[in-house]
Structure 1
Amino acid sequence: MRLLLALLIAVVALWSGYWYIGSSGVQSGFAAWFGERRTEGWMAEYSDLTVQGFPSRFDTVIENLALADPDTGLAWEAPRFQINALSYNPGHVIAVWPDQQLIATPVEKYEVKSRDMRASVVVGASTRLPLKRSTLTAEALEVTPAGRDEPTRIEALSLAVETVPVRTDPTYRFGLRADGVAPSVPVRAQLDPRGSLPEALEALQADMVVEFDKPWDRGAIEEARPQPRRINVKLAQARWGRLELQAAGEVTVDARGVPTGEITVKARNWREILELAVTAGAIPEGFAGTLEDGLSLLSQMAGNPKTLDIPLGFRSGRVMLGPVPIGPSPVIRLR
């Protein structure tokens, strides 16, 4: 009995020492990271940083966090951010966001409200912390431009990403699902001035495989974001009332962010979708009539005047409908 008790005391003492050393290392590591960002010209501030969770966890709690990258113009403020890890498996962490936060871009600031926003993140055993897989979920998400009171709402959001290990270049598979996406009142009024569509989209989801120029690891925050070089859209789908849009295809992306390739688009009740695109400014109004005539001919040839199944080409910085350019290509670059 005495031997068993002695062994138990020794194990507890050893584990307590391990937890103390590990938690001190985690705390000093985060503090050093913030210091390095400030040296690089970032705003990187917090009011308190503690590590809790003895004996089985390293739970890092950061209070009144403020980060701003001067090179990209991106900034983030949160009253509390938590990173939880099991002490025996530090490569798997759970990140927990507060119910309210502020995200700023060079164009606009956004107030973000949510319920239970969190992410499970698994990284590789390397100081670069290469991403292996991650899942982010949130409920009752509201995104509002700062100073306004008309949010875009999402009932439930799920974003999953995992590495595709058989590829030579860094490649990841992404899955997105957003339920109950309700555009803000001003956006809905602009897109649907007659109010003929439901308040929220019934479906918004995507499944794609993306090849990047470098891996997603700690350098994606500290240095520069990886840039997509090949995008394989297995399926992207949006359904809003009687309107439905599906897309699939593959494009390559050059160093300037200009795509080349082809995406096949299937549109149900395409005339109303075209009207929404013109209203939103995605298609010039003066070109809409010519485009509608051409699409009408294609749909009649296919035997269903309400449904389109057409390939959109991306060539030389233009979006092509067959041989006809319909507008400039989007620039695909991550800030």
Structure 2
Amino acid sequence: MRKLLVLIVVLALGWAGYWFVGATAVERGLTGWLEDRRAAGWTAGYGDLGVSGFPNRFDTTLTDLHIDDPLTGFGWRGPFFQAFALSYRPNHVIAVFPPQQTILTPYEEIDLAAGDMRGSVVVSPGMTLALDRATFVAEDVEATGSLGWSASVEEARFAVREAVRENAYDIGLEMLGVTPDAALTEAVDPGDTLPAAIERVRLDATVVYSRPLDRFALQGVRPQPVAIEVNGARATWGDLAVTAEGELDVDPQGIPTGILTLEVRNWRQMLALAVEAGLVPERLAETAERGLALLAGLGGGGDLRVPLTFRDGTVSLGPVPLGPAPRLIPPVQRQ
């Protein structure tokens, strides 16, 4: 019995020592990472940092956290950020976000309020800590931009996992109950013919990056998308629905080239709304309708299958030019 008690005491002391060493490593790792970011020109800081959860967890809490990357123009700040990991599985982290937070972008600041927002991140064991998979969920999200707009989402789910191809990742996104900014809704739907909220937005894609997403991704040149395979995307808003699939190549400036095939339900109504919103010039409306009717087949029925073509920095819907193609790598513009 004495030997058994001694063994239990030794094991308990050993585990306590392991937890203490691990907790100290977590704290030093985070403070060192933030110091490295500041040395690289970032604005990075926090109020307090604490690690608890003995004996089976590493529960890390940072208060008044703020990080800002001048190279990309993106950043984040919030009253706290929490990360939880089992002490025997430290490569699997649960992240909890505060109900009020601010996202900094190259264009503006976006304040987020959420009823619940959390994520799960799994990295591969090893020195590089390469991303294996991650999921994020959020409920009752309200976003307010510093440029004067606001929008909300009832529920959002995002997932990413390492794909078979080198530096490729499968990405899934689903949003339910998306209410756009009132000014945008008024511009797109002045006749109030659509529901207040977009019922569902879904994306299934594979993105190939210029380098892997690992612990070195924030050092030097950031990973940038070089190819995007849209396996399936769909948005449903009342009687309108759009699905898309196709492949795009992305140049170093972030300009996509390629074709996405769209299937549009009630395309005439959608075209009318696009003209009303100024997305399609009114002088081209009649020509666009005739051209899309030909693509829709004899009689120009309510459904349409049409290519969305990205070429030479521009984008067109079938024969209808829409304007400059979006940049998928935003330039730093925030002051």
Tell me if TM exceeds 0.5: yes
Deviations 1:155-205 (A, max 9, x none): 11000111112x1x2111111110111112222112211111101111110
Q: Distance in 2 between matches of 1:226 and 1:287?
A: 39
Q: Distance in 1 between matches of 2:144 and 2:137?
A: 19
Deviation at 1:243, TM superposition (A): 0.6
Q: Distance in 2 between matches of 1:268 and 1:193?
A: 20
Paired residues for 1:196-235 under 5 Å? 196-235=193-232
User: Structure 1 residues 200, 156: CA separation in 2 closer, same or farther (over 3 Å shift)?
Assistant: same
Residues matched between the structures, number: 331
Q: Distance in 2 between matches of 1:107 and 1:280?
A: 22
**1:15 is matched with which residue?**
15
**1:2 is matched with which residue?**
2
**2:152 is matched with which residue?**
153
Which amino acid counterpart does residue 117 of structure 1 have in structure 2? Answer: M
User: Which range moves more in the overlay, 131-140 or 97-106?
Assistant: 97-106
User: Which range moves more in the overlay, 42-51 or 272-281?
Assistant: 272-281
**2:84 is matched with which residue?**
84
Q: Distance in 1 between matches of 2:97 and 2:74?
A: 18
**2:109 is matched with which residue?**
109
**1:333 is matched with which residue?**
329
Q: Distance in 2 between matches of 1:321 and 1:183?
A: 23
User: Structure 1 residues 282, 304: CA separation in 2 closer, same or farther (over 3 Å shift)?
Assistant: closer
**Residues 65 and 78 in structure 2, CA contact (< 8 A), matched pair in contact too:** yes
**2:136 is matched with which residue?**
136
Deviation at 1:230, TM superposition (A): 1.5
What secondary structure, in the 3-state scheme, does the structure 1 residue paired with 2:127 have? Answer: coil
**1:307 is matched with which residue?**
303
Deviation at 1:313, TM superposition (A): 2.4
What secondary structure, in the 3-state scheme, does the structure 2 residue paired with 1:310 have? Answer: strand
Deviation at 1:138, TM superposition (A): 0.6
Q: Distance in 1 between matches of 2:157 and 2:318?
A: 35
What secondary structure, in the 3-state scheme, does the structure 2 residue paired with 1:202 have? Answer: strand
1:317 aligns with one of 313, 317, 326: 313
Q: Distance in 2 between matches of 1:51 and 1:159?
A: 28
Instruction: Please provide the CA RMSD for this pair.
Output: 1.9
Q: Which has the higher contact order (CA 8 A, sep 6+)?
A: 2
Q: Distance in 1 between matches of 2:147 and 2:100?
A: 15
**2:37 is matched with which residue?**
37
Deviation at 1:322, TM superposition (A): 5.1
Runs of 5+ in structure 1 lacking a partner?
none
**1:53 is matched with which residue?**
53
2:256 aligns with one of 255, 259, 284: 259
Q: Distance in 1 between matches of 2:2 and 2:102?
A: 57
Q: Distance in 2 between matches of 1:153 and 1:326?
A: 27
User: Which range moves more in the overlay, 35-44 or 317-326?
Assistant: 317-326
**2:284 is matched with which residue?**
287
Which amino acid counterpart does residue 201 of structure 2 have in structure 1? Answer: L
Deviation at 1:224, TM superposition (A): 4.2
Q: Distance in 2 between matches of 1:56 and 1:215?
A: 31
**1:70 is matched with which residue?**
70
What secondary structure, in the 3-state scheme, does the structure 1 residue paired with 2:129 have? Answer: coil
Q: Distance in 2 between matches of 1:255 and 1:22?
A: 41
User: Structure 1 residues 225, 273: CA separation in 2 closer, same or farther (over 3 Å shift)?
Assistant: farther
TM-score relative to the length of structure 2: 0.93
Q: Distance in 1 between matches of 2:132 and 2:96?
A: 19
Q: Distance in 2 between matches of 1:27 and 1:327?
A: 50
Q: Distance in 2 between matches of 1:334 and 1:296?
A: 35
**Residues 109 and 146 in structure 1, CA contact (< 8 A), matched pair in contact too:** yes
**Residues 202 and 239 in structure 1, CA contact (< 8 A), matched pair in contact too:** yes
User: Structure 1 residues 280, 85: CA separation in 2 closer, same or farther (over 3 Å shift)?
Assistant: farther
Deviation at 1:38, TM superposition (A): 1.3
**Residues 68 and 75 in structure 1, CA contact (< 8 A), matched pair in contact too:** yes
User: Structure 1 residues 287, 126: CA separation in 2 closer, same or farther (over 3 Å shift)?
Assistant: farther
User: Structure 1 residues 247, 217: CA separation in 2 closer, same or farther (over 3 Å shift)?
Assistant: same
Q: Distance in 1 between matches of 2:238 and 2:317?
A: 26
What secondary structure, in the 3-state scheme, does the structure 2 residue paired with 1:276 have? Answer: helix
User: Structure 1 residues 304, 231: CA separation in 2 closer, same or farther (over 3 Å shift)?
Assistant: same
TM-score relative to the length of structure 1: 0.93
Q: Distance in 1 between matches of 2:68 and 2:259?
A: 37
**2:234 is matched with which residue?**
237
